Structure 1
């Protein structure tokens, strides 16, 4: 059973810049730069027949290319931080592409995504990282500047179950435009 999700790949120059932010946070398990991506829709563990349906319906998406803006660093999890992320601006074209995928996944019988879409690139998964440690990390790296790139395609990724953080494999790519 493949574990699938859709996403936007991060260009190598931006991935390199993001990877330079690694280190200095106890309890962080850093994601390898080649696995950085912006998740659009987590699909989950599905059978091969459903995977074929996912691929077939994603091929029908027509959406123009658009600019993705990375706005800065943040964390998820509040009092129990669980991830360190680079936030992406929730621009209309990005939101529309994600919403289209959500609608199509529901159409083929995949359960709705329970979490609100918050565009981001996960840099590290956190285990036992203190709130103070995360706040100090974010404060020390407040110089991280905004970066932009053109999204010209989205992809269907597969991942090994239960590992989180990669390695991810591009199973199919869908051009924008």
Structure 2
């Protein structure tokens, strides 16, 4: 059974800038730059019939490309941090694309996503990281920002059932107009 999700790829030059944020935080398992992405819709572990239906539904999405900027370093987990990420500057076109993915997956019978969409690029997963050390790391890097880049396609990724962070394989790519 493939584990699938849709995402935006991060250009190599932007990934290189993000990789400069790696290090300086004990307990962090850093994601390889080639696996950086912005998840649009987690599909999950599905059989090959659902995978085919998902790919076909995504092929029907007809949207324009748009510009994207990554901005701000933060953490998920509040008092028990579990990951470090770079946020995405507010973007209406991105929100509309993600909503279209959600509608497409509902049309093929998948349950709705229960989590609110908070676009980001995960940099590290944390294991037993001290909240104070995480706060210090964020204080030094919180105002990080990338140059704006063009989003010209989205992809359907597959991944191993693991603890996250890759490896990911592009199963299909869908150009934006």
In structure 2, the residue matched to 1:69 is 69
- Partner of residue 55, structure 2: 55
The residue number in structure 1 matching 2:20 is: 20
Query: Unmatched 5+ residue regions in structure 1?
Result: none
Secondary structure at 1:84 match in 2: strand
**2:100 corresponds to which residue?**
100
Counterparts of 2:46 and 2:148, CA distance in 1: 33
Q: RMSD of aligned C-alpha atoms?
A: 0.9
* Structure 2 unmatched ranges of 5 or more: none
Aligned position for 1:168: 168
Q: What is the CA–CA distance in structure 1 between the aligned matches of 2:148 and 2:132, rounded to whole Å? A: 30
Q: How does 1:92-171 map to 2 (within 5 A)?
A: 92-142=92-142, 144-171=144-171
Q: Determine the C-alpha separation between the residues in 1 that align with 2:42 and 2:19.
A: 23
**2:44 aligns to what?**
44
Q: TM-score, normalised by structure 2?
A: 0.97
8 Å Cα contact 1:72-1:146 kept in structure 2: no
Task: Give the total of aligned pairs.
Answer: 177
- 1:41 positional shift: 0.3
Q: Distance in 1 between matches of 2:162 and 2:114?
A: 19
CA distance in 2, matches of 1:81, 1:152: 33
Q: For each residue in 1:134-158, what CA deviation from the matched residue of structure 2 results, as whole angstroms up to 9, or x when unmatched?
A: 1100112245234311100000000
TM superposition shift of 1:129? 1.0
- So what's the TM-score if we normalise by structure 1? 0.97
State the 4+ residue runs in structure 1 displaced beyond 3 angstroms.
none
Give the distance between the partners of 1:105 and 1:73, measured in 2 at CA: 30
